[in-house]
Amino acid sequence: MRTEIFHYDLPNELIAQQSPPRGESRLLVLERATGAIHHRQFTDLPGWLHPSDLLVRNNTRVTAHRLFAATETGAKIELLSIGQDRDGWRVIVRPAKRSPIGKRIRLDDSGCSAWAKVTAITEDGGRIVTPEDDYARHILECAGETPLPPYIHAHLSDPERYQTIYASEGGSAAAPTAGLHFTQQILNSIETMGVAIADITLNIGVGTFRPVKTASVEEHRMHSESAHIPAASAQAINTRVGRLVAVGTTCVRALETAVDDQGAVQPGTFNTDLFITPGYRFKVVDALLTNFHLPCSTLLMLVCAFAGTEPVLNAYQEAIRQRYRFFSFGDAMLII
């Protein structure tokens, strides 16, 4: 399958640089059975749900921090501190060539400095660093600014706007952006009409922004991310009466990884590198709420797998004609 199939031309001015108030985005509804397209507002979402539906959302929280640093020779580098694990702090370094194993890195915060050392290189090219004192540990854990996708150049005045209102489980380098549209009032309306809500967690890594650079889709190596499905959520999923409506592609990947051959989602903690492309047979997800994704991205390929490549790309062209806003801070798309 050629990667170029998933290319489309997007005017730069349609890449959303600022997020509107929650709930005020537009909503494009695509019907899989007919290819019909409807233009609505996100506040209309409850009207497209059924009382027996189950809405599954990703409750991960962005905990990564963007830091400025330097090597011992004074060369400037940039760190994305993703979080702590048993071996140290996981970071992404740009440019990576300046941080081999054993290199000491000076961390800067508000005019003060501390040191950490690179102790390992991860499979995805990241680094494990060990802080040399408590202040370095503090910088890696708390300092810096919220990272935004590389296509967003505007300053984020309120870091909480890049979190869903239900974010609770830390560990992500990026937000599950399909959930950014929800207000508590919209969620209350959904629950009042009888729709149940279940939370799962998939911690989003920086690999979500990695473009597919191979000529064929099959040659692309999918990044791995950690996920957790609580027992109560698995039970709600497996005993639902109506449709499972996944909020975002992260939910889709987690659920389709955890489902067994009998169609039951298994609870637990796991890693997933599931790469969903056209031809994939979905086992548990019935409807999808998502944003508009980058050309030739793994996210767009997943959406095309769910609704058909031609219908999805036709809907994207219609969205462009109607001046929808694209990507993380853009408008929403409901596929039913």
Instruction: Give the model confidence (pLDDT) of 185-227 as tens digits.
Output: 999 999 999 999 999 999 998 888 788 999 999 999 998 899 9
pLDDT of residue 91: 92
Average pLDDT, the chain: 95
Eight-state DSSP code of residue 132: S
pLDDT of residue 170: 85
- Radius of gyration for the chain, computed over Cα atoms and rounded to the nearest angstrom: 20
pLDDT of residue 123: 77
Is the domain 3-62+156-335 a CATH 3.40.1780.10 member?
Answer: yes
Q: Could you list the mean pLDDT of each consecutive 10-residue stretch along the chain, which spans 336 residues?
A: 98 96 97 97 98 98 92 92 85 91 92 92 88 93 88 89 96 94 98 98 87 95 94 98 98 98 96 97 98 97 98 98 98 98
pLDDT of residue 141: 87
CATH T-level topology, domain 65-142? Thrombin, subunit H (2.40.10)
Q: Which residue has the tokens 């609580």?
A: 230
CA distance 14 to 31: 24
Cite the residue boundaries of each domain of the chain with CATH code 2.40.10.240.
65-142
Pairing of strands 112-121, 104-109: antiparallel
The angle formed by the CA atoms of residues 256, 262 and 266, to the nearest 5 degrees, is 55
pLDDT of residue 82: 86
pLDDT of residue 109: 86
Q: What is the DSSP string of 60-100?
A: EEE--EEEEEEETT--EEEEEEEEEETTEEEEEEESGGG--
Q: Other CB atoms closer than 10 Å to residue 193's CB: what's the count?
A: 13
Angle between helices 309-321 and 298-307 (to 10 degrees): 110
- Based on the number of CB atoms within 10 Å of its own CB, is 331 exposed (0-12), middle (13-18) or buried (19 or more)? buried
pLDDT of residue 128: 94
Cite the residue boundaries of each domain of the chain with CATH code 3.40.1780.10.
3-62+156-335
CA distance 109 to 299: 35
Contact at 8 Å (CB) between 259 and 216?
Answer: no
